[in-house]
Amino acid sequence: MAIVKPFKAVRPSRDKAALVSSKSYEAYTPAELGAKLNFNPFSFLHILNPDYKYHQEVSSEQRFQLVHKKYSEFKSNAYFTKDDKPAFYIYQNNTPTKSYCGIISATAAEDYHNNVIKKHEDTLQKREVLFEKYLKKTGFNAEPVLLTYPDNDVIENIIKKHQLERPEYEFATTDKNTHFLWVINHEEEINLISEAFKNVATLYIADGHHRTTSSCLLAKKLAAENKNHTGNEAYNYFMSYLLPESQVDIYEFNRFIRDLNGLTSTQFLEELGKVFQIKKKHQEIFKPSEKNEFSMYLDGEFYALSLKDSIYKITDELSKLDAQILFTTVLKPILGINDIRNDSKIVYSQNKSGSLELKTKVDTGEFKVSFGMLPATIDELKNIVDADLLMPPKTTFIEPKLRSALTIYEL
């Protein structure tokens, strides 16, 4: 049973929503970031970068304090106001090729600790601790975690009803996306949505593992520090964007390897041949068409690799995953990469735009060989998670990517 609650969001005024909201901070190049900060005084990026104009280094502690101060200034200037009533928020993002639409809500830290909200990848403790400190010092979170759930007719009908009404926000961005936001603050509809999610056994984290873990760690700490803790405090929840499974898009990551671990190309191909059927594709760009099939680019030529079923043994849900197969058959035993999260010999790149990057990056000479595969499916993700297993790092690149500061959750 998933606990999903409405909350009083802090939001930009209708006339400034397009100017205030931003992509995730990491999505901007330095040039783009500078342009936003120099020419858009309303951008939420000013809150995230309160020290940019000073051109000097500050500690994390100082920066978090400056973030809080700048956020307070935005509220004082009425760029942000807090809703009077708790609400759910329907957010729709139309890209040039697809429309995503789900509900922004408060979800329970308790559900994460009780395994109702499940993760599919591991997190780095250093990042967890840093973001936990950020949340505590700043007192808000502006980017929801992306959670997915089985498609639900009750929720879908409520969303469709509001999509016929004028949205609170409607604006386009320079990436050719159009954004819409509707506010649901009627008690009857709020109850219908909350009750519908009580019938959802599991919510799966699609994107935002560190934000989730940090929020839940902070909830435990603040509860322990609060002598009058009731469980209803804002810190017991974190902001999420709940999206039906049918709307989640998963893309794969390509793998680029800097050397062949002391092997010649001929020796490397001989080792691969023990586990894979190998077909040379020459200059033909090859992309896998089925599971357990991989593309490889080596010495100016593409190869198709097909797993020999008689050699590789399936032992659990994780061992069925192509990213895991590549690790256990090639990266670790042949190329000597044991720590795929931290080894500098391997680099990852999401493969939304096609397979040509497998060639171009290797042709520069920086890498010796590259590998591509089909993306994981939502069912693979769920099966692995439900078996209490975790996917390897850089297995899934998931869309939609969410904008910051359309709704802000205050702790």
Say yes or no to pLDDT of 381 above 90: yes
Average pLDDT along the chain: 94
Mean pLDDT of 72-83: 96
Give the model's pLDDT for residue 329: 97
Give the model's pLDDT for residue 310: 86
Annotated domain spans of the chain: 4-248+399-410, 253-395
Torsion angle (degrees, nearest 10) of CA 128, 134, 137, 143: -110
Q: Please give the Cα distance from 155 to 105 (Å, whole number).
A: 13
Q: Which residue has the tokens 């994390």?
A: 60
- Which amino acid type is present at position 284? E
CA nearest neighbour of 197 among 302, 88, 284, 285: 88
Kindly give, in sequence order, each residue whose CB lies less than 8 Å from that of residue 58, ignoring residues fewer than 6 positions away: 51, 66
Give the CA count within 13 Å in the CB-facing half-sphere of 104.
Answer: 31
Mean pLDDT of 339-356: 87
Structure tokens at 359: 């060639």
Mean pLDDT of 329-343: 94
Quick: pLDDT tens for 96-125.
999 999 999 999 999 999 999 999 988 878
Quick: pLDDT tens for 221-237.
999 999 999 999 999 99
Query: CB of 209 within 8 A of CB of 359?
Result: no
Mean pLDDT of 117-144: 92
Query: CB of 187 within 8 A of CB of 87?
Result: no
Kindly give, in sequence order, each residue whose CB lies less than 8 Å from that of residue 267, ignoring residues fewer than 6 positions away: 260
Identify the architecture of domain 253-395 in CATH: 2-Layer Sandwich (3.30)
Q: Please give the Cα distance from 304 to 96 (Å, whole number).
A: 32
